[in-house]
Structure 1
């Protein structure tokens, strides 16, 4: 199929003139944003000579939707996308970060619908809520979606990129059981949000290992912080007062500083095994001080890079590929292999 034939078919499908398509392709200007978006939409939907057509266009615009960088992990993720400018240029992609409140589902859905109108692809991390999956399925036929860090399997996404969260939870369960020892004890799980699939899968893996190998470690509470660090400290303080036999805390998400402060104030730092995720500077200090016992760390730079590469491959293929999973590796840190201060 010639390039001109491709442009004619796009013009017919989009309901615009051939000259309009030509202006978009050759970046001559004079085309309204709405018309340009329609041309790009139909080029993607019809999948006509995608590689040839896209090579004439401006860089593809990718919307990255994630939590605020006030969360240290998402701060690292933000920096990772910023640092990958060379890779983005090589793939003719430009990423634009949009911050969402994962506790506000209607606002998150509205943001998804907004970016779908003006971006060529979406990378996002958000809760597994039917309203969000429905919105993504409606747009996934024309705008490729990649889920990052935590999956939305019913969203129509072309790929999930991130760790095997169930395996990470199993690793934590193994560490918790061994650190507490044969005598066992009560254990508390602190989730950010139950409906974030990554958190749910970590809890499932954790529970499975304790049930299989460490039956004396009894999970007495599964709490939610709502991704609010201060609330994480509050719910743990209440749990410790009501359950004096607690020997282990698995914090799946944010709030480690607040939880550690509560443990230290109650004089329990040497009596409670605490394990969490992501080796931020503050958590590294808690690990070296012996308040935290282990940290399971994923690599946000590698995750960002793989998500970008997935979209790059998608746009370069002449034919679309089915849904895929790109599991990324993770590391285990204890006090003895804690990296130096300039780790991040």
Structure 2
């Protein structure tokens, strides 16, 4: 019984400790590499034999446990939801260190395909895995494929590029999120006739394009009395989104509903408030942040389609770790849920 327990509970570190050597020395002995004194080799092998230790399993353990570097390529600028993901990565520092993982956050202009592709190209050979909030553009797809060819494991985060050879996508079903927003706007507007405005960051971001598709699909099919206005793109910037929303409101006094697809929510809300139309226009957006929380409490926003930034950060790291270790991905664990948050159920 003692031998069986010893065999199953011993680790490489235990063998190294018992033989009085480093973990690297045990690795050299296991692989028959030169540079180890005969007496040291003997001590390591005796410790292995004494505990019926399995060298092949030990070698695999050592390979899986080597230090790995991950990069998270995130949007530059004041996107509060993206900042929440970055903050969650910071809170994982102890967990990452215990597993010999390090994460470096790289911010860039994800709205520019040339800049984003150039950023990705600079990562070749520097990281074992890359998570990226990606623009669906030929230059970016090519840069993602080149990263994969260079040996990196690539995960798209929040916004997918499914035609690239990325290994996995971590994020919500954005078409379903858009459909949810459409159903909310349509039902909250009720029987009032009028127009629906849509403010997006960029339709080249697949998450935004898919949300718009789902949103317009529901409104067109189920709320035919509402006219959907052409999408305007605020690049997730507050000032730009405010200016575009104000122009929409001036040009269309019969707007009864507004869907903000990405960030820039503070700017959209300011335009509604300055125009005296907050509370009169149904306003639905995304993500629970300090800004959307205040807007929900004030009644400026009616509902928020929420996804958990902590879950996304942890899922992306766990998926990259599994990919680099050749382990299966637990799909149910990594599935990101869509929540509807209103003033009365604010978390």
> 2:214 maps to what in 1?
205
Q: 1:255 aligns with which of 253, 258, 264?
A: 264
> 1:240 maps to what in 2?
249
Task: Verify the 8 A CA contact 1:192 1:252 in the aligned structure 2.
Answer: yes
> 1:307 maps to what in 2?
316
Distance 1:51 1:217, change over 3 A: farther
Q: 1:109 aligns with which of 102, 106, 117?
A: 117
Q: 1:140 aligns with which of 131, 135, 148?
A: 148
Distance 1:287 1:62, change over 3 A: same
Higher relative contact order (CA 8 A, sep 6+): 1
Q: 1:196 aligns with which of 184, 194, 205?
A: 205
- Which structure 2 residues correspond to residues 36-185 of structure 1 after superposition, within 5 A? 51-52=60-61, 54-55=63-64, 57=66, 59-68=67-76, 70-141=78-149, 142-185=151-194
Distance 2:293 2:315 in 1: 26
> 2:43 maps to what in 1?
none
Answer with 253-262 or 298-307: which moved more.
253-262
TM-score (norm 1): 0.80
Answer with 261-270 or 159-168: which moved more.
261-270
Could you report, residue by residue, the CA deviation over 1:66-92 in whole angstroms, capped at 9, with x for unpaired residues?
A: 013621111101101111123323443
The number of equivalent residue pairs is 298
- Quote how far apart the aligned CAs of 1:283 are: 1.4
Could you report, residue by residue, the CA deviation over 1:28-67 in whole angstroms, capped at 9, with x for unpaired residues?
A: xxxxxxxxxxxxxxxxxxxxx994463463x200011001
Distance 1:331 1:324, change over 3 A: closer
* Structure 2 unmatched ranges of 5 or more: 1-26, 37-57
> 1:219 maps to what in 2?
228
> 2:343 maps to what in 1?
335
Q: Kindly name which structure, 1 or 2, has the bigger radius of gyration based on alpha carbons.
A: 2
- Quote how far apart the aligned CAs of 1:279 are: 1.1
Answer with 329-338 or 71-80: which moved more.
329-338
Task: Verify the 8 A CA contact 1:184 1:214 in the aligned structure 2.
Answer: no
Distance 2:333 2:152 in 1: 18
> 2:240 maps to what in 1?
231
Distance 2:60 2:129 in 1: 16
- Quote how far apart the aligned CAs of 1:213 are: 1.1
- Quote how far apart the aligned CAs of 1:260 are: 1.2
> 1:45 maps to what in 2?
none
> 1:28 maps to what in 2?
none
Task: Verify the 8 A CA contact 1:160 1:324 in the aligned structure 2.
Answer: no
Task: Verify the 8 A CA contact 1:151 1:160 in the aligned structure 2.
Answer: yes
Runs of 4+ in 1 over 4 A off after TM superposition: 49-53, 323-326
- Quote how far apart the aligned CAs of 1:125 are: 0.5
TM-score (norm 2): 0.79
* Structure 1 unmatched ranges of 5 or more: 9-17, 23-48, 340-344
Could you report, residue by residue, the CA deviation over 1:297-343 in whole angstroms, capped at 9, with x for unpaired residues?
A: 1111101111111112112227x99x99953002211111123xxxx
- Quote how far apart the aligned CAs of 1:120 are: 0.9
Task: Verify the 8 A CA contact 1:164 1:327 in the aligned structure 2.
Answer: no
Q: 1:287 aligns with which of 277, 291, 296?
A: 296
